[in-house]
């Protein structure tokens, strides 16, 4: 920028004035200063050696030589006019000094801007007073130019300093926002991992735990009948093998569902219908199915909640309730309502050990995550009804 400005000034002098306003020495010395600053900026080893003194040295080279040269270099004799007055010649140094002013405001702030502006004015004034002679050129015009130049530097410097201060505040706010965002992302990742662990625990409970629990009971019975009634023990052992194979199939289906949910392939309505029909057939249950063919568009989280709660409730009815009839009803009206009812032996929901039986707690967790309400109505000998309600505004 400095060298370009000097070149432009020289071209203007050569084109518009018969005699250049300044001799070639003026432009040569200023160009040497610009090249010196450019060399310092490009010299990485020198910047490392100078350290914190690099920028003050560059500002000094940018500001002091132009002021001294403008005062000490006698101008030529261009045609008379406002552009050839000593004051106009003095103003030629302002663009060069503005470069130094920008660097000062960018790096040091408002107090150093005042020192820079005052120092440049005192330097120029000292040179004026040193060379002033009575009867020569009047002193007032250069003083007015120096005053205008100082006020201009203060206004521009204050504006740049304020702008840089605001940018620093924005950068600090952005840094703090990035820290909060990083913390939020880490918290969200931990929460996602925790939810995925809970989901896998529910999946394993719905399949492997059910099978192993039933198999354990059957094997205990086989052990008890082994000496008393070998034939009955053999029949129970065959049932245990069948239950093991069924459990293996259920586990494989659960592992497959961890990779790709049936909802992705079938949709909610068909997935619930297929799951209920297959489970009822395996458990030899009479099924009353009331699931609409068309279901309004729901969020993936809500669909997953409805399907998994229905799966858990149907599996419990097939494996634990000793039921003969099962009803699965899905209502999509003002609210989404899922009901699963069986005529099994029932239980007391208040006396369930949730530390050992994860089915009810898992369904309640799913319902809470989807913003729904889970209700369990059951009494010993009167069957069980599980109802999930998700209000429309929470869908």
Output the pLDDT for position 20: 63
Query: Which two structure tokens, joined as six digits, stand for 26?
Result: 């003026």
pTM for the model stands at 0.42
Return the minimum-mean-pLDDT range out of 30-34, 281-285, 331-335. 30-34
- Answer yes or no: is pLDDT of 388 > 90: yes
**Mean pLDDT computed over 82-100:** 66
Output the pLDDT for position 168: 85
Q: What is the 3-state secondary structure (H, E, C) of 261-313?
A: CHHHHHCHHHHHHHHHHHHHHHHCCEEEEECCCCCCCCCHHHHHHHHHHHHHH
**In terms of pLDDT, which residue wins out, 170 or 82?**
170
Give the model confidence (pLDDT) of 164-187 as tens digits.
888 888 988 898 988 888 888 778
**Measured between alpha carbons, how far is 177 from 185 in angstroms, rounded to an integer?**
12
- Answer yes or no: is pLDDT of 228 > 50: yes
- Decide the pairing of beta strands 286-290 and 325-332: parallel
Output the pLDDT for position 89: 60
Which has the closest alpha carbon to 246: 222, 210, 274, 197?
Answer: 210
**In terms of pLDDT, which residue wins out, 76 or 194?**
194
Q: What is the mean pLDDT of the chain?
A: 79
Alpha-carbon separation of residue 151 from 82, 86, 117, 148, 173 (angstroms):
21, 19, 8, 5, 33
**Mean pLDDT computed over 248-253:** 72
**Mean pLDDT computed over 44-57:** 75
Give the model confidence (pLDDT) of 18-30 as tens digits.
666 666 777 777 7
Q: Are 307 and 268 in contact (CB under 8 A)?
A: yes
- Count CA within 13 A, CB hemisphere, residue 269: 11
Highest averaged pLDDT of the listed ranges 15-19, 39-43, 235-239:
235-239
Give the model confidence (pLDDT) of 127-164 as tens digits.
777 776 666 667 777 788 788 888 888 888 888 888 88
Output the pLDDT for position 255: 66
**Mean pLDDT computed over 205-225:** 75
Domains of the chain: 2-181 (no CATH), 265-395 (3.30.565.10)
């Amino acid at each position: 920028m400095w060298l370009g400005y000097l070149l432009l000034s020289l071209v203007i002098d050569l084109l518009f004035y018969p005699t250049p306003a300044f001799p070639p020495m003026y432009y040569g010395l200023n160009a040497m200063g610009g090249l010196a600053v450019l060399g310092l900026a490009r010299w990485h080893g020198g910047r490392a050696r100078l350290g914190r003194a690099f920028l003050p040295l560059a500002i000094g080279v940018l500001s002091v030589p132009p002021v001294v040269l403008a005062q000490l270099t006698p101008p030529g004799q261009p045609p008379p006019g406002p552009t050839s007055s000593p004051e106009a010649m003095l103003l030629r140094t302002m663009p060069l000094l503005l470069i130094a002013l920008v660097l000062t405001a960018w790096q040091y702030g408002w107090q150093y801007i005042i020192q820079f502006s005052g120092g440049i004015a005192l330097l120029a004034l000292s040179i004026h007073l040193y060379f002033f002679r009575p009867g020569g050129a009047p002193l007032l015009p250069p003083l007015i130019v120096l005053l205008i130049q100082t006020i201009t530097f203060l206004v521009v410097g204050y504006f740049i300093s304020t702008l840089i201060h605001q940018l620093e505040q924005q950068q600090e706010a952005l840094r703090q926002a990035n820290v909060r965002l990083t913390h939020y992302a880490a918290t969200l990742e931990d929460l996602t991992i925790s939810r995925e662990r809970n989901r896998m625990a529910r999946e394993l409970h719905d399949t492997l735990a059910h099978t192993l629990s039933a198999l354990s009971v059957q094997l205990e019975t086989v052990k008890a009948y082994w000496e008393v009634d070998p034939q009955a023990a053999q029949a129970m052992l065959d049932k245990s093998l069948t239950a093991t194979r069924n459990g293996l199939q259920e586990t494989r289906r659960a592992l497959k569902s961890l990779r790709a949910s049936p909802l992705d392939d079938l949709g909610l309505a068909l997935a619930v219908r297929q799951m209920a029909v297959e489970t009822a057939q395996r458990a030899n249950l009479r099924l009353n199915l009331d699931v609409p063919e068309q279901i309004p568009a729901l969020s993936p989280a809500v669909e997953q909640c409805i399907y998994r709660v229905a799966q858990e409730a149907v599996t419990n009815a097939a494996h634990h309730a000793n039921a003969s009839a099962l009803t699965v009803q899905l209502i999509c009206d003002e609210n989404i309502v899922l009901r699963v009812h069986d005529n099994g032996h029932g239980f007391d929901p208040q006396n369930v050990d949730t530390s050992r039986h994860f089915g009810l707690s898992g369904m309640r967790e799913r319902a809470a995550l989807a913003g729904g309400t889970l209700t369990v109505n059951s009494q010993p000998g009167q069957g069980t009804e599980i109802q999930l309600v998700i209000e429309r505004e929470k869908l």
